[in-house]
Amino acid sequence: MKRVFVAILSVLISINVISQNREYRKDERSQSIKEDRYDNYRINSISDLDILKALEIAGVKIFKVPIFPVFEKEYNLSVNLNEYVDGQKVNTKDIIQTYRGKNVYVHFAKDVDEQEKVPYLDYIPKLTFFTKDNDSTLLLTVEHYGGSSKTSLKKNIIRKSQFFDWRTYSQIDWKLNEEVPLLVYASSWYDENLKAERFCGISDLSEDEKETKELLDNSSHYYVITLKIFE
């Protein structure tokens, strides 16, 4: 028992001596080394594109949509999810939640004497869409500075080789009281001549009206996400 006590006492004395000999020094290491000491993630050799590709393999995609023209007054704002089956619209719903349904969000800042945080309004400058693909459904999250909302998209799968994919629009300037398409989530179609599944080859539907029409005419099930600004 005495030997154990002596051993413990020796350890405590050693720790105390070491701690007394150590001095304070600012940690000048880079953030990446601080967070990944042994460089397990090889952060300096991985690009943003690599990360996006990895997310896509995991079924995750991200779409960031700036709102232009920039708002200068208050309007009503909706982001509509329009579902089409065999070319016919079968459902539509607003999938965004904003302050009183407007194009603004609430943020907090200190008042003039910096004693209390006060709520203010500002215009929403952009929207971000996060998607998580599953076997028969897709989880869609719409986010802006004022909050986020989630909805689920069902996929009508009728063939084993069938797949769904996203296409975007680059010409998205809003026009008052009009629905402007932002994104399309559509099913492939089976080409009897090629004996294979087909899908629109372009990534930007604003670039080629013919291919956009081909996609929407041939896809048996698709969703169009639109932005509408109205009074």
3-state SS class at 54: helix
Q: Per residue of the chain (231 residues), what is the pLDDT tens digit? A: 555 454 555 555 555 554 556 786 778 878 888 788 888 988 888 899 999 899 999 999 999 999 999 999 999 999 999 999 999 999 999 999 999 999 999 998 877 666 668 889 999 999 999 999 999 999 999 999 999 999 999 999 999 999 999 999 999 999 999 999 999 999 999 999 989 999 998 999 999 999 999 999 999 999 999 999 999
Q: pLDDT at position 23, please?
A: 80
Q: Please check whether residue 105 is in contact with residue 121, taking contact to mean a CB–CB distance below 8 angstroms.
A: yes
The Cα–Cα gap between 208 and 88 comes to 22
Q: pLDDT at position 137, please?
A: 97
3-state SS class at 99: helix
Q: pLDDT at position 27, please?
A: 80
The Cα–Cα gap between 126 and 32 comes to 29
The Cα–Cα gap between 28 and 213 comes to 57
Q: pLDDT at position 118, please?
A: 84
- Paired residues of 64 in beta bridges: 128
Q: pLDDT at position 32, please?
A: 83
Nearest Cα to 80, choosing from 69, 67, 91? 91
Backbone angles phi, psi at 186, to 5 degrees: -135, 160
Backbone angles phi, psi at 78, to 5 degrees: -135, 150
Q: Taking the domains of the chain in order of start, what are their residue ranges? A: 60-230
The Cα–Cα gap between 141 and 135 comes to 17
CA dihedral 172, 55, 137, 99 (to 10 degrees): -50
Q: pLDDT at position 64, please?
A: 96
Q: pLDDT at position 62, please?
A: 96
Q: pLDDT at position 175, please?
A: 96
The position carrying tokens 């952009």 is 126
Q: Is the pTM value of this prediction over 0.95?
A: no
Backbone torsion region of residue 157, taken as left when φ is above 0, otherwise alpha when ψ lies between -120 and 50, otherwise beta:
beta
Q: pLDDT at position 231, please?
A: 96
